[in-house]
């Protein structure tokens, strides 16, 4: 049984069809690379899975249990062990790092006995041990605003590790990460895999996706157009497949999103 299964997912934003009939699943202890051009629907698909908004139509199963999409939310997704690092990290940039790390899940509520100073200490430890922050030069009291994009991702990743998520979804920021930051993200994914967890990784850099994924799913204009196990396709072939899709779009003059008739 897959860890999560999305069936026949459709999503309309007014007249824009972002997804049309997507089947997408993630297995236990599987890393899935979700790839496709800008506007393909990748972020929309994972936002639905993360509880940001419901699909227009379709079903989601988590560990075989059908999700009531009217009641599903980011909080509910957290409760089910799904943690997402969104492409746009808008939330709480003015907050102190330690506050942000425990956002909406103050340790007292979850563990009963933890105090806020424990949260601070936990953050401090996590920043040192898990996230490898610049030579200890950043305090948990610093505002998230002072962090680079990669470090902000690190916070979200730290949150996923701390709360021991079963499925971590990473939607790569639009702004390029530094080489070190990319390496940290890739190491994190490998660590998840070693620990028996699952991951959905969205990145524009095929070499990165290729290096860590067990399987690739290609989205194009709101539909799944290809699905490969890593053993079935070389990095070069995967790249060629994407280039061909891109060229086909250019030939059809289909750069703008598909519209409903
Ligand atoms: N909140 C929104 N409102 C209207 N249109 C949206 C919204 N989010 C995404 N879209 C549209 O849905 C399509 C898929 O977008 P997205 O999922 O962000 O693609 P990707 O992440 O693959 O680049 C695009 O045409 C985009 O413009
Ligand atoms: Mg996106």
According to the model, what pLDDT value does residue 89 have? 62
**What residue spans of 112-148 are helical by DSSP H?**
116-129
Contacts of 118 (CB under 8 A, 6+ apart): 107
d(CA 133, CA 183): 14
Which DSSP helix (H) or strand (E) runs through 237? helix 235-252
Question: Quick check: 180 pLDDT over 70?
Answer: yes
* Ligand 1 binding site (Cβ under 6 Å of any ligand atom): 13, 16, 18, 36, 38-44, 257
Nearest ligand to the C-alpha of residue 40?
Answer: 1
Nearest ligand to the C-alpha of residue 88?
Answer: 2
Structural contact between residues 169 and 84, judged by C-beta atoms closer than 8 angstroms: yes
d(CA 63, CA 1): 7
Question: Poorest-confidence range of 16-30, 60-74, 111-125, 230-244?
Answer: 111-125
Whole-prediction pTM: 0.86
SS3 232: helix
What number of other Cβ atoms are within 10 A of residue 39's Cβ?
A: 20
User: What is the secondary structure of 240-256 as a DSSP string?
Assistant: HHHHHHHHHHHHHT--S
Give the residue, out of 14, 15, 34, 39, with the most ligand 1 atoms within 8 A of its beta carbon, to mutate for a pocket test. 39
Nearest CA to ligand 1 atom 11: 18
Per-residue confidence band for 220, with pLDDT thresholds at 50, 70 and 90: very high
Calculate mean pLDDT across residues 59-63.
Answer: 97
- CB-based neighbours (< 5 A) of ligand 2, an ion: 43, 87
Nearest CA to ligand 1 atom 7: 13
Tell which phi-psi region holds residue 151, choosing left (phi > 0), alpha (psi between -120 and 50) or beta.
alpha
d(CA 231, CA 236): 13
pLDDT cut 70: percent of the chain above it: 86
Question: Quick check: 178 pLDDT over 60?
Answer: yes
Nearest ligand to the C-alpha of residue 173?
Answer: 2
Nearest CA to ligand 1 atom 4: 13
Strands 167-171 and 223-229, sheet pairing: unpaired
Which range scores top for mean pLDDT: 168-172, 212-216, 251-255?
212-216
Structural contact between residues 48 and 13, judged by C-beta atoms closer than 8 angstroms: no
C-alpha pair distances (Å), 109 with each of 112, 119, 215: 6, 12, 37
Question: Quick check: 199 pLDDT over 70?
Answer: yes
Nearest ligand to the C-alpha of residue 217?
Answer: 1
Structure tokens at 128: 């040192």
User: What does the mean pLDDT of the chain come to?
Assistant: 86
Give the residue, out of 11, 22, 41, 200, with the most ligand 1 atoms within 8 A of its beta carbon, to mutate for a pocket test. 41
More confident call, 97 vs 212: 212
Q: Which atom of ligand 1 is nearest to the CA of 87?
A: 21
Sheet holding 57-62, edge to edge: 16-26, 4-13, 57-62, 65-66
Fold of 4-93+166-252: Rossmann fold (3.40.50)
Find the 41 Cα to ligand 1 centroid distance in Å: 6
Calculate mean pLDDT across residues 46-64.
Answer: 96
Which range scores top for mean pLDDT: 111-115, 146-150, 153-157, 178-182?
178-182
Which DSSP helix (H) or strand (E) runs through 76? helix 74-79
Question: Quick check: 150 pLDDT over 80?
Answer: no
């Amino acid at each position: 049984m897959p860890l999560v299964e999305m069936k026949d997912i459709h999503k309309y934003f007014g007249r824009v069809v972002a997804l049309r009939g997507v089947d997408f699943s993630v297995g236990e202890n599987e890393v899935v690379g979700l790839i496709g051009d800008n506007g393909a629907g990748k972020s929309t698909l994972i936002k639905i899975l993360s509880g940001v908004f419901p699909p227009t139509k379709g079903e989601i199963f988590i560990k075989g249990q059908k999700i009531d999409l009217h009641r599903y939310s980011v909080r509910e997704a957290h409760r089910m062990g799904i943690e997402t690092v969104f492409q746009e990290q808008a939330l709480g940039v003015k907050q102190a790092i330690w506050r942000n790390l425990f956002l909406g899940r103050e340790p007292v509520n979850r563990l009963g006995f933890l105090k806020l100073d424990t949260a601070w200490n936990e953050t401090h430890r996590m920043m040192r041990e898990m996230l490898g922050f610049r030579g200890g030069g950043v305090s948990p009291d610093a505002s998230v605003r002072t962090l680079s994009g990669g470090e902000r991702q690190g916070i979200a990743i730290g949150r996923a590790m701390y709360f021991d998520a079963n499925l971590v979804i990473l939607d790569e920021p639009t702004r390029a990460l530094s080489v070190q930051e990319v390496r940290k993200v890739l190491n994190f994914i490998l660590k998840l895999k070693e620990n028996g967890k699952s991951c959905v990784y969205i990145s524009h850099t095929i070499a990165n996706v290729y290096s860590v994924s067990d399987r690739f799913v290609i989205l194009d204009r709101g539909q799944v157009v290809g699905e490969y196990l890593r053993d079935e396709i070389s990095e070069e072939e995967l790249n060629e497949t994407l280039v061909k899709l891109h060229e086909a779009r250019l030939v059809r003059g289909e750069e703008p999103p598909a519209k409903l008739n």
